Amino acid sequence: MNSGLKICLAGEGAFGNKHLDAIERIEGVDVAILSGGVETDTRQVAEQRGIKNWTLDLDDALADDGIDAVILATPTQMHAEQASRCMRAGKHVLVEIPMADNLADSEALVALQKETGVVAMVDHVRRFNPPHQWINQRIQKKELAIQQMNAHTYFFRRKNINAKGEPRSWTDHLLWHHACHTVDLFQYQTGEVAEHVQAVQGPIHPELGIAMDMCIGLKTHSGAICTLSLSFNNDGPLGTVFRYICDNGTYLTNYDDLFDGNNEPIDLTGVTVCNDGIELCDREFFAAIREEREPNSSLAQALSTMQTLDRIEKVLK
């Protein structure tokens, strides 16, 4: 394949722009088409980014023989159907998490990837963030073993807004989006699938139709446990903080920073080529296309996460 990759970026919102920022720092990749959902916003982003071609119909991009791959930064409810269309059109695809909002669609996507043979990946960005890579490298060297992962995922979203604080056209979900991050990271870091799951959630919001508070507990066969608290009611610092309690030390992560159990910073110089997890994920996607290999965080690798989320959902019901 020619080293210059032509990309369609689908999604003109907050995370679409994060991918555009990342791609600007990656050589040999060109966003040839922007596919959006709102005409004024799509046109504006295309003009600001110097993207000559834009469309409101993803099929326009999929019909273009010059497009090698698609990055889907679209609403969760569109992921499965759009990823399927991309693969059937012979395009490599990177999907923002989750790959789908239910297990059946996830299984269908994995089967379709095997049928088509394209590179198909989920943006499980936590796998790529430098602090978690630092932990993973030591796990692989047998220097650490996780005894407990503790995670707090907190936002203040009593209105339907996105990461930029702007109105959102779709409704976010604590389980199938935000818990997806931590469930995948826990299973990735331990190398095991959760053997036991438990969960409780608070009342359903009368307008948004989702639970605004949730607690999840996981346990692997080896005995590692994960405790996860999530809330859209938290009026304070936003995002996710992780605590790794290991057999050889305790570590805390806050986005791209890592500290030991006594809040002493750990130098992450040289762990990765950059500190942007989205850029690292995009780099892995493009490298897998060029090298014709399965990427880290492929659809197939991420299926066990969706299976665990399905089990959690059954507990909540």
By DSSP bridging, strand 53-55 and strand 69-72 are unpaired
Mean pLDDT of 154-179: 75
The model's pLDDT over 190-217, given as tens digits with 9 standing for 90+, comes to: 999 999 999 999 999 988 888 999 999 9
CB of 216 within 8 A of CB of 198? Answer: yes
pTM of the entire structure?
0.93
Which residues, other chains included, contact 34 with Cβ-Cβ below 8 Å and sequence gap of 6+? Answer: 8, 9, 10, 12, 16, 42, 45, 46, 49, 51, 53, 54, 55
Q: Hey, where are the domains in the chain? A: 5-123+277-294, 129-271
Asked if the peptide bond before residue 295 counts as cis, ω within 30 degrees of 0, the response is no
Tally of CB atoms within 10 A around 63: 10
Place of tokens 């759009």: 82
CATH superfamily of domain region 5-123+277-294: NAD(P)-binding Rossmann-like Domain (3.40.50.720)
Query: Does position 1 have pLDDT exceeding 50, yes or no?
Result: no
The CATH fold of domain 129-271: Dihydrodipicolinate Reductase; domain 2 (3.30.360)
pLDDT attached to residue 156: 86
Mean pLDDT of 34-39: 96
The pair of structure tokens assigned to 191 is: 């190398």
The model's pLDDT over 239-293, given as tens digits with 9 standing for 90+, comes to: 899 999 999 999 999 888 999 999 999 999 999 999 999 999 999 999 999 999 9
Under DSSP, the state recorded for 98 is P
Query: Does position 170 have pLDDT exceeding 50, yes or no?
Result: yes
Percent with pLDDT over 90 in the chain: 88
The model's pLDDT over 93-147, given as tens digits with 9 standing for 90+, comes to: 999 999 999 999 999 999 999 999 999 999 999 999 999 999 999 999 999 999 9
